[in-house]
A and B are shown apart, each in its own frame.
Chain A
Amino acid sequence: MNAIIPIDVLIIGGGPAGLAAALAAKAAGADDILILERENELGGILRQCIHTGFGLHIFKEELTGPEYAARYIAEVHAQGIPSQCDTMVIDITSDRLVTCVSAAHGLQRFQAGAIVLAMGCRERPRGALGIPGARSSGIYSAGTAQRFVNLDGYLPGRRVVILGSGDIGLIMARRLTFAGIKVEAVVELMPYSSGLKRNIVQCLDDFDIPLMLSHTVTAIHGKGRLTGVTISKVDADLSPIPGSERHIPCDTLLLSVGLIPENELSRNAGVDLDATTGGPVVDNRLQTSVPGIFACGNVLHVHDLVDHVSVEAAEAGRQAALAAVGRSLVAAESAVAVRAGDGVRGIVPQRINSETLTTTPVKLMFRPSSVRRNAVLVVEADGVPVHRVKKRILTPGEMVELSIKPDFFAAAKPVRELCIRCENS
């Protein structure tokens, strides 16, 4: 086996999170950086996202996914940051020994000063939903179908039903329509869509594709290739209502039913995971429970917009660079716990380490657990309301961001727990 290679900042994943983290690490003074990417090119999932809508926040213009990625990739090259594609990390230890394999370099081991986890997420498969029925061909997760169409140049079917109204499913409804495929319906279990409003308008409404809320697929038909699905209306408990069944003939079923942060490697490294977000528990520096290991992007929590991923990842990269040069490898001892109260889910970061705060506000990101109009977000410090923010509409499909000024934590009496909850105004 090859010798262990020392490296200051090792970035696992060359998608939008990894690219932004690398650039920020470089800007923060790290010189010895390496990006490891499992695909044969940098860019991550953006490579197959050929639709527009990326970059409105960061570049103030509307880019396609590959264009957005290309800007970061060009900058990474301009900065001379090395990357290694076709390389799969197979193990990370808690003392930051990283093992990876590739056809070109064989089995390599890196001893990293700091690690940025930027592995992204994967799609929830059919099996996890437990939809009964036949094991026909023609059932794909939306992202798999997107890859077939946009990267490989093949169509997955002729007549499609999409289960779940996640953004990838909505985007694929439009993409397949453009390709001459009939999209029969988008079927959503919940009484609301988990996708962005703009995607519902631009991908479904504009093409007269019905969005069937409070419906689900209750049976799958077809020996060999799929021949149709049965859909049913669901009640308030999300159980199918007998008698509401309807058969839709189709040869393809796409699933867009949720994304799961890919944290198998994080688990190997002993990183604590949050059951709600599916990602690591992090502090305000985006450091995980293992000192020197940081996380950002969809491996931390699933984002709606890549622009937000880039911003978050830049902070993780910067912190990793600082940690790698030995300035802040301390575990969060005096951390303020952040808790999701009523109507709020999956707050990131989960801890605030007041000793590491600077002058920049602490950004808390989370999702409302249901659709609410005219709601108030209440921030409580040890049970005492300290901050109230009015929101005209809150929906689980759109992540909320709240900023808290650092001087709040510098108050005379130290705060032990910060809670965010949602109430009706």
Chain B
Amino acid sequence: MYDIVIIGGGVIGCAIARELKRWRLKVALCERSDDVGAGASKANSAIVHPGHSAKPGTDMARLNVVGNQLYDQLCQELDITFQRCGSLTVAFDEDELPALESVYQDGLANGVPGMRLIDRDELLRREPNLNPEAVAALFAPTGGIVCPYELTVGLAENAAINGVDVFLNTKAVQVKRNASGWTVCTGQGDFDCAAVVNAAGLYADIFNNQVSTDTMRIIPRRGEYWMIDKSFDGAFRSTIFQLPGKMGKGVLVSPTVDGTIIVGPNAEDIDDRDDNTTTRAGLEYVYQAASRIWPALPRRALITNFAGNRAHLVRHDFVLGEAPGAPGFFNAAGIESPGLTAAPAIARELSAAIAEYLHASPNAEFQPCRPPVRRFRTMTMAERAAAIAENPAYGRIICRCEQVTEAEIRDCIRRPVGARSVDGVKRRTRAGMGRCQGGFCMPRVVAILSEELGVSPLQITKNGGNSIILTAKLEAVSREREAEA
């Protein structure tokens, strides 16, 4: 019996799980994938928005601005890289100036601190690679960048350290009332609890509609992205937004905390919530729309592309709190952009409401920090020498492109809510994310996973389910053929 079962291990579910442990509560988190952050949380713009683009008066606007302010402390506690690189919303012709002014006014209404309009000269001085047709921009110094899956993993790990039971490969299918509260039925058995948190992302409507009279319909809205090679690190200092308009609505160009550049997304409503395929047309549109920001956008430097689906609601605001007609069933639904930014604020607000509902007492043992993650890549030479002296596995580089060592890979598997697949290792360490995209390191990552998890390499997957990497041992097939002959 749990006090709370959280459905969904995305950034929202994990942030809520961690935040709930500030109270003396027994919390379980059910995630259908083999890893946390495997849905929308791994495939988005990786932006911490300043908060000028949400409509004043909405929860989106309020929680965006509050969430943004919580980021410094949260990332420090979890040892997550966070950079306040600032953001620029750029007008590319005079016709766009009224729209720029309106974004500025919305920002003021939402309480975004430090914004100022800057002219073309200052803009091009700040961003020399920007399309010189730009006429003016809104600079927001609180804009930032973060790695969203690193954050989600950090939140989950810290939640687990604080006693949250994280159940992976555990797909919730049905939420039902029972005599004293709720039962969450999953593929791995039923969980009884006093309260449920619906953080199911693209599937949040399904659980809400099982219990509440106020139904909703999530529309999967796909966004496609390109990643640009690290050799262009520094091409842009800040995140560059375009104004909504005829071209490139929402397509941004932004540095990432890892030194790559992200370009995207488009927006296309689709039917299949799990369909994260990229399309020729979508990718070309993103490329063209981003070229408006960055005319010299280099095609040869595109290292990969991906798509993520946003959990869009027609009402276009977050749905937070107890669902009507379902006491103890708390929604965190319709979390699309700026959901990543708002996550810490959503978690704080919702967990306070749940704690009040359950009359919970504060947990004096809450540990807000997680043990730091040592990264060879960011160590000084002296630190590297010391790390190898202490643990020789820091001297064995597995991923050449991103300089990830064997020690880091083993550590990310052994940590609470550790990696269980090649993509899990990749998201935690960046092994396989560089320009060779795992060509060299993937076989070695498979071998390490197999060793650490004590299973055959044939059981290692790319990202859980049937995404196996290898299909048979060589000699097994040879024997089969001999038998046939």
Q: Is the CB of B276 within 8 A of A103?
A: no
Q: Is the CB of A101 within 8 A of B397?
A: yes
Give chain A residues whose Cβ lies under 8 Å from the Cβ of B474.
149, 153-155, 179
Q: Mark B462-485, 1 if CB is under 8 A from A, else 0.
A: 110111111111110110110000
**Interface membership of B279, Cβ < 8 A:** yes
A106-B396 contact, Cβ under 8 Å, with A101-B384, A180-B480, A225-B468: no
Provide the bound-state CA to CA distance between A105 and B458, in Å.
33
**Interface membership of B232, Cβ < 8 A:** no
Q: Is the CB of A38 within 8 A of B397?
A: yes
Query: Which of the segments A68-76, A120-128, A202-210 contacts the partner chain?
Result: A120-128
Q: A38, A147, A152, A240: which has the most chain B beta carbons within 10 Å?
A: A152
Q: Mark B272-298, 1 if CB is under 8 A from A, else 0.
A: 001011111011000000000000000
20 contacts between A and B (CB under 8 A): A1-B382, A103-B388, A106-B392, A107-B384, A126-B304, A127-B227, A128-B435, A130-B226, A130-B302, A134-B277, A136-B467, A137-B463, A137-B467, A138-B468, A152-B457, A154-B472, A218-B280, A223-B274, A224-B466, A262-B400
Q: B274, B396, B461: which has the most chain A beta carbons within 10 Å?
A: B396
Give chain B residues whose Cβ lies under 8 Å from the Cβ of A221.
277
Give chain A residues whose Cβ lies under 8 Å from the Cβ of B440.
122, 144
| Closest Cβ–Cβ distance, residue A175 to chain B (whole Å) | 10
Which A207-255 residues have C-beta < 8 A from chain B?
A: 218-221, 223-225, 240, 251
A106-B388, A137-B467, A219-B277 given; 4 more Cβ-contact pairs under 8 Å: A128-B302, A135-B306, A154-B472, A155-B471
**Interface membership of A133, Cβ < 8 A:** yes
**Interface membership of A141, Cβ < 8 A:** yes
Interface residues of A (CB under 8 A from B): 1-2, 38, 86, 88, 90, 99, 101-107, 122-123, 125-128, 130, 132-138, 140-141, 143-144, 147-149, 151-158, 179-181, 218-221, 223-225, 240, 251, 262, 264
Q: Is the CB of A1 within 8 A of B385?
A: yes
| Closest Cβ–Cβ distance, residue A17 to chain B (whole Å) | 17
**Interface membership of B436, Cβ < 8 A:** yes
Q: Is the CB of A155 within 8 A of B473?
A: yes
Q: B388 contacts which of A107, A143, A264 (Cβ < 8 Å)?
A: A107
Give the 4 A-B residue pairs with the shortest CB-CB distance, closest first.
A127-B304, A125-B437, A137-B462, A103-B392
Identity of the chain A residue whose Cβ is nearest the Cβ of B464 in the assembled complex: A224
Q: Is the CB of A152 within 8 A of B443?
A: yes
**Interface membership of B442, Cβ < 8 A:** yes
Q: A225 contacts which of B389, B393, B467 (Cβ < 8 Å)?
A: B467
Q: Is the CB of A106 within 8 A of B395?
A: yes
Q: Is the CB of A156 within 8 A of B471?
A: yes
Q: Is the CB of B467 within 8 A of A107?
A: no
Interface residues of B (CB under 8 A from A): 226-227, 274, 276-280, 282-283, 300, 302-306, 381-382, 384-385, 388-389, 392-397, 400-401, 403, 406, 435-440, 442-443, 447, 457-458, 461-463, 465-475, 477-478, 480-481
Identity of the chain A residue whose Cβ is nearest the Cβ of B397 in the assembled complex: A88
| Closest Cβ–Cβ distance, residue B127 to chain A (whole Å) | 24
Q: Is the CB of B481 within 8 A of A137?
A: no
| Closest Cβ–Cβ distance, residue A65 to chain B (whole Å) | 17
Q: Is the CB of A179 within 8 A of B276?
A: no
Q: A107 contacts which of B381, B396, B463, B468 (Cβ < 8 Å)?
A: B381
Provide the bound-state CA to CA distance between A251 and B470, in Å.
10
Identity of the chain A residue whose Cβ is nearest the Cβ of B480 in the assembled complex: A180
| Closest Cβ–Cβ distance, residue A277 to chain B (whole Å) | 14
Q: Is the CB of B400 within 8 A of A104?
A: no
Q: Is the CB of A224 within 8 A of B467?
A: yes
Q: Is the CB of B437 within 8 A of A127?
A: yes
Provide the bound-state CA to CA distance between A123 and B474, in Å.
24
Provide the bound-state CA to CA distance between A207 and B404, in Å.
41
Q: Is the CB of A104 within 8 A of B392?
A: yes
Q: A133 contacts which of B278, B381, B384 (Cβ < 8 Å)?
A: B278
Q: Is the CB of A104 within 8 A of B395?
A: yes
Give chain A residues whose Cβ lies under 8 Å from the Cβ of B475.
153
Identity of the chain B residue whose Cβ is nearest the Cβ of A149 in the assembled complex: B474
| Closest Cβ–Cβ distance, residue A111 to chain B (whole Å) | 15
| Closest Cβ–Cβ distance, residue B368 to chain A (whole Å) | 34
Provide the bound-state CA to CA distance between A125 and B438, in Å.
8
Provide the bound-state CA to CA distance between A38 and B400, in Å.
10
| Closest Cβ–Cβ distance, residue A157 to chain B (whole Å) | 5
Provide the bound-state CA to CA distance between A138 and B458, in Å.
12
Give chain B residues whose Cβ lies under 8 Å from the Cβ of A157.
471
Provide the bound-state CA to CA distance between A134 and B272, in Å.
13
| Closest Cβ–Cβ distance, residue B471 to chain A (whole Å) | 5
Give chain A residues whose Cβ lies under 8 Å from the Cβ of B443.
144, 147-148, 151-152
Q: Is the CB of B468 within 8 A of A154?
A: no
A179-B397 contact, Cβ under 8 Å, with A130-B305, A137-B461: no
Give chain A residues whose Cβ lies under 8 Å from the Cβ of B469.
137-138, 156
Identity of the chain A residue whose Cβ is nearest the Cβ of B484 in the assembled complex: A180
A180-B384 contact, Cβ under 8 Å, with A137-B469, A223-B274: no
Identity of the chain B residue whose Cβ is nearest the Cβ of A106 in the assembled complex: B388
Q: Is the CB of B305 within 8 A of A103?
A: no
Give chain B residues whose Cβ lies under 8 Å from the Cβ of A180.
477-478, 480-481
Give chain B residues whose Cβ lies under 8 Å from the Cβ of A158.
471-472
| Closest Cβ–Cβ distance, residue B93 to chain A (whole Å) | 30
Give chain B residues whose Cβ lies under 8 Å from the Cβ of A103.
388, 392-393, 395-396, 406
A99-B381 contact, Cβ under 8 Å, with A88-B397, A123-B439, A135-B276: yes
Provide the bound-state CA to CA distance between A152 and B300, in Å.
32
| Closest Cβ–Cβ distance, residue B380 to chain A (whole Å) | 10
Give chain B residues whose Cβ lies under 8 Å from the Cβ of A148.
443, 470
